[in-house]
Amino acid sequence: MLDFTGSVTEREKQEQLLDSMDLERERGITIKSHAIQMDYTYKGEEYTLNLIDTPGHVDFSYEVSRSIAACEGALLVVDAAQSIQAQTISNLYLALENDLEIIPVLNKVDLPSANPEVVTDDIVDLLGCDPSEVIPASAKTGIGIEEILAAIIERIPPPTGKVDAPLRALIFDSVYNPFRGVETYFRVINGSIKKGQNIKFVATDKNYSADEVGTLRLKQFPRQEIKTGDVGYLITGIKEAKEVKVGDTITDAKNPTTEAVPGFEDVKPMVFAGIYPVDTEDYEELRASMEKLQLNDASLVFTPESSAALGFGFRCGFLGMLHLEIIQERLEREFDMTVITTVPNVSYQAYTHKNPNDVILVNNPSDLPEPSSLAKVEEPYIKATIITKSDFVGPVMSLCIEKRGEITNQTYLTTERVELSFDMPLAEIVFDFYDRLKTVSKGYASFDYAPIGMRQSKLVKVDVLLNGNVVDALSALLHVDNAYDIGKKMCEKLKELIPRQQFDIPIQAAIGAKIIARETVKALRKDVTAKCYGGDISRKRKLLEKQKKGKKRMRQVGNVEIPQEAFMAVLKLND
C-alpha cells in the first residue's frame, strides 16, 4: 500500500519496511505498532489515510488495543496458505468490541500452497460477511492493492470531530529520543494543534509548549498545524519519561476541553519476574533505562525490590514469556544493560486462618505466609484457545492435561482444523508451554489466551538451598503433585551448572523444613597423600583428617557463586 500510494521512494524500500527494530527483523515478528500516513487520489479526490501496523502475537495485544482506540476501521489480513490463527480471532474480537469497520483481506494468494476458496469460507464463517467482500490480494505481486484502498475509502467512515471545538487529542504511543526528549504520538479528535501553542496534558495536569508538531511519514514531517482526524507527533522537550502517559488527553492550556478522551484499559500483567543489574552500582542506570523503555512499551510494569542473593533490582510485570524475552533483549541492545532475570511466576492470592477475609497478594514466592497460618491459596486461570490440524489433537491434548488443563470445548472448524478450548492455570503456561506446543504440533498450532479469574489450588512453596542457604531468587510456588518432580529436576540441573569449589556443595529442594530432593557438587580435592610412599596407614589418615577439617571450615565460610545460566536453566527443565 505504501508503495502503491507513492509514500515510499525506491531508495527507502526494504523488506519488513515498518519493522524498524533489529529484533523485529531478526525474528520476523512485529513488536511495536507503527503509525504512518499516506495520500491517495481516488475518483479525482485527494484522501489522506492514516495507517497503524500492529503486532499479531498474543503477548503484544496491548499494542493492538491502543491502536484500535485511535482508529475507525481495520484490515483483517488472513494468510491464504495458513488460514485463520488463534491470535487473529482474539484481535478481531477486540476490533469488534470497539465497533470498528472490518475489511477482510486474503493475502498471499499467489503462493503455490495457497488455498483461497477454503480460507474465504473460513473468513465468511467467522465474520458472517458476504464472500464478495473478501478481497484477494498479494503484497508481493501487487494484486488487490487498488481494491483494498478503494474499500478503505468507501467502507470505513471518515473521522468524526468538531474542528471549532477546543483541542482534544488522544496519546496512543510515545518514544524517547536522547537528543530531543519524549516524542508523543497522538490523534486529534476535536480542534487542532499548532506549532508553539501552549498545551496541557490532562492526567498529569502539566503545561508545555508545542516546540514541533508534524505528521508521521516514513520520516517525521514538521507542520504548522494538525487538524481534526489527523495523526501526528509532538515534541515538547520533556526529559522525564513518567510525565507522558499513554491514553492521556492533550488539550489547550488556555481553553481546555471539559472531557478527557476515554482512554483504554490499564494493562494487566500476566507474568512476573525479577530483573537485577549484574553490578549493584548500575541500579540507578537500570531504573532510568526501564523508564525510557516503559515509554515505548506501556505494557511493562515495574516496582523496586531487593533480594538477599542478588541485591537491589525490580519486580517486573509482563504480558507473557515472549514479552519478557524481548524486554531483556532490548535492555541489553538499546541501553547496554546486562541484567539477571529470575524465575518468572504469576500473581497469587493467599488467605490466612487469622484474617480469612483479607486477601494477601503474592507476586513473589517469598511473600507467601507460613504454611501453618495459611488457609488457602488461589491462582489465576486462563481460557486457552488452540487451533491445530486434526492430526495433532492427541499430542496437544496430552500436553494440556499434563499442564493441569481441563478441556471445555472441541470444535472442528473444517475437516482439517480443530479449535480446542481449555481452562488452565496460568502458572503452567509460563515456562515452556508455547515451545512444547509448537514441537508436538510440528509448528502447526496457534495459541491464544484470556484470563478467567482466580481458582483455589493446592500450592506449596519449593525453596532451593545451596550449601544450606535458601536462594530466594530460585524459589517457586508449585502444585503439590508436581513439587517433587520439579524439585528433583531443579537440583539435577543446578548440579550441572554450578562450578565445583574446594568443598562439597549440597543442593537441596525443600518444602518448609522437609527436604524433597538433594544433589551434591563434589569438591575439587588435592591428593594430599601423594608424598606418602608406602609407610604406615595412620600417616595417610592423619593427612586426610587434616584435609577434612580444612574442607569443613571452608564450607562454613565458603560462598557459592550462582552463574546467570542457572536462573534461566530452571525454565528449561524438560530439555
Q: Which residues, other chains included, contact 106 with Cβ-Cβ below 8 Å and sequence gap of 6+?
A: 78, 80, 116, 119, 120, 123, 134, 135, 136, 137
The three three-digit cell numbers of residue 264, written as one number: 483504554
**Which residues belong to the annotated binding site for GTP?**
107-110
Contact 531, 437 (CB under 8 A): no
Contact 245, 203 (CB under 8 A): yes
Residue 12: CA atoms inside 13 Å, Cβ hemisphere, count? 12
- Please give the Cα distance from 507 to 229 (Å, whole number): 62
Q: In what order do the strands lie in the sheet with 181-190?
A: 206-209, 198-201, 249-252, 168-177, 181-190, 231-235, 212-216, 220-223
**Which residues belong to the annotated binding site?**
107-110
- Please give the Cα distance from 31 to 355 (Å, whole number): 44
- Please give the Cα distance from 77 to 565 (Å, whole number): 40
- Please give the Cα distance from 318 to 271 (Å, whole number): 5
Place of cell 510456588: 477
- Please give the Cα distance from 119 to 530 (Å, whole number): 77
- Please give the Cα distance from 347 to 271 (Å, whole number): 7
DSSP string over 245-274: -TT-EEEESSS--SS----PPPP---EEEE
Nearest of 382, 313, 337 to residue 86 by alpha carbon: 382
